[in-house]
Chain A
Amino acid sequence: MSSPTSASSAATPRLRRNTMLWALLAMALFLVSTLLGLFLRLFQGNSFPAVEPVWFYSALTLHALIMVGAWFLGSMAGVHYLLSRYVRPSSAISELAMGGSVVGVVLISISTLLGKFGVGWYFLFPLPLYPNGAWSPWATIVFFAGLAILAVFWLAWVLDLLRAIARRYSLSMALGWHILRGAKEPEVPPLVLITTVSLVVVTAALVAAALVLALFVLHGSGRANVDALLMKNLTFLFGHIIVNITLYLGVAILYELLPAFAGRPWKTSWLVAFAWNAVLLLVLFAYLHHLYMDFAQPRWVQVVGQTASYFLSLPAAAVSVFGSLALIYRSGFRWTMASRLLVCGVLGWVIGGIAAVVDATVAVNSVFHNTLWVPAHFHTYYLMGVVLMVLAFFDHLSRELTGSDTDVPAAGWILSLLLLGGYGFLAMFYYGGATSVPRRFATYPEETLQGVIQARVAAAFVVLLLAALVIYLSRMAARCLRAFALCRNAS
């Protein structure tokens, strides 16, 4: 049986080395960001009464941006590597993106940690221009400079992957339109289809981000009085898509990895092609659910938002999740740490998705919007979803490149601890949302004091999660370093 990644004889040593570097970078950022997350929950549990709340908001901003950035990059790295089975993306551009990402992260860290820039990842217009004494104008400028660098370098990487796909596939082939017309040949791997869809949509998100930055400059310089509603639409068009597509890139990896563990092929069927083309259309409108409480959006826009958000779950549930389960059912599935992480990742995606659909209901959103229910759902499909899928890829690849086939001892226990810590931490978010606890509050007012206890319990679970992560990731990091050294010697 072929190994999930062994067909990657096409992968050059440089690509392998780069992928290991990306893995190390993503894991390091992940750990730092998880520590920041722990700080946030401890702060909400009143553990730091002497620390000013401004630190909470700057840590919140950094936590979210690092987490989204780390896993967007991690999933891009995974997709880049796996795509090399079929096409040849440029390693140089990937290295450039890494350099740009490091600079961007450093600038954002300076802005938040030194400049106390605490506006949340979404820097909702016009808050960055109203510091009210909390941060200096230079922090705003450094933050936006960091974001601009990230947008430019990420866009370059995204476009290069598209270019690589375009060298071999026509657009209609890459999107599986011939399959929709009933043809069986030529075969297009799901990885290529999903990646094409995702990259096109990410391009839209990055253009939206660039537009937001440009409009900020226009407004900040006094040349125009920009509409706050437009800015909010653009902000969530960008933010929602980046997070959503990170998940889909993780799913692209899933489509490529899972068949090897199951020993069954996962081909682009008519339904798979249809589902991902539907995603291409729907995902551009799903972000509207972030603006349900903006009564200034016309009623029909809100109805489109709920409908698009609901039906976006259909391709996922009915095609990819069903497909995953059908693939492994009575397949003689090979259970390793990587394959377990993959299956757990699918479950996290499903649970987070259900919570997302609940919250995407306008009538429900009226009492859930900006409560802890929102971080509950996206932490579920992020932390317990795409993160596990991408970690599965790194785990498997690092094992393959170093030739260490067997799982570490107590792998099962580590996974159990990870799931216990993760879901325990998430349960407090869900419970918080159901008990009206607002999100993004440094400390809780007397009406929602239940949030304090929930934060403390959540922090305890985060400690368990961190323990599992430190044990698991330190071993993986050592393997990645070994693989990196081997690849360097090979080249």
Chain B
Amino acid sequence: MIPQYKALLAFLIITAAATATFLWVTRNTANKERLNPEAVSKLRSRFAITCALLLIAALALTLPHLPYPRGSEIPDKVVFVAAKQFAFGLSEAPIASDAQWEAASQGPAVRIPANRLVEFRVTSLDVNHGFGVYSPGGTLLAQTQAMPGYVNRLRLRLQNPGRYPVLCLELCGMEHHSMRGIFEVFATGKE
């Protein structure tokens, strides 16, 4: 299951539980009764502690999966990405001039071997952009911001061959929705 669906499922389960609790309470509001404050307070403490423990557990489960790798592995390839209103230039060589950015954004797609660790070095030549890598089927796989003045390093290992679109995930002007880039993952034959 893709991570998006896992997150959606977790959200739906917790939401269903919360909504059920609300419905149950709102259906039990009619008969006026004096509640024992101590019992309420005890229940509230238990509820608070349970919530805190769940949050700590969720932190412990998710924090090891930060998308910023420690990086003991050496990537097999580096791809330079320069974002500019309104296209991504992807190239195997650094992009340091207007002409290079144009050539990179209009030229043939960069080719990346499947199952190999690739490092994208992402920056912007004007405003903030979002470097969002989509699968050929249209699922968002990973992203990093393209921020002027910084080079962000996103490392990915893509298994399936195909043409991977890159969409801009930060509002960058009137043609934001049509800003894109592309790279191609090819089978290496060894795997």
Contact = CB atoms under 8 A, between A and B. Distances in A.
A–B direct touch, CB within 8 Å, in complex?
Answer: yes
A132 interface: yes
A contacts with B: majority SS: helix
Interface string B163-182: 00101011111111110100
Q: Which of B65, B67, B173 has the most CB of A within 10 A?
A: B173
Interface string B118-143: 00000000111010101000111111
Contact of A433 (B4, B52, B130, B143): B4
A4 B10 CA distance: 38
Interface in A432-453: 433-436, 438, 440-445, 447-448, 450
B interface, size bucket: 35 or more
Interface string B44-68: 1101100110010011001101111
Given A228-B150, A369-B169, A363 B180 contact: no
B4 A343 contact: no
A314 B52 contact: yes
Given A293-B130, A434-B7, A319 B48 contact: yes
A367 interface: yes
B91 interface: no
B contacts with A: majority SS: mixed
Contact of A310 (B26, B47, B58, B175): B58
A314 B142 contact: no
A362 B67 contact: yes
A86 interface: no
A338 to B, nearest CB: 15
A354 B15 contact: yes
B169 A130 contact: no
Contact of A358 (B11, B33, B134, B148): B11
A323 B45 CA distance: 11
A294 B148 CA distance: 11
A interface, size bucket: 35 or more
A366 B44 CA distance: 34
Interface stretch (B16-24, B75-83, B98-106, B108-116): B16-24
Q: Which of A229, A363, A438 has the most CB of B within 10 A?
A: A438
A125 B126 CA distance: 10
Interface string A356-395: 0110011110111111000000000000000000000000
21 contacts: A118-B174, A132-B85, A228-B147, A228-B149, A263-B32, A271-B48, A295-B153, A306-B59, A310-B55, A314-B52, A323-B44, A326-B40, A351-B19, A354-B18, A363-B3, A366-B67, A369-B143, A370-B132, A430-B8, A434-B4, A445-B180
Closest 7 CB pairs of A and B: A332-B32, A318-B48, A333-B29, A447-B138, A363-B65, A436-B140, A330-B33
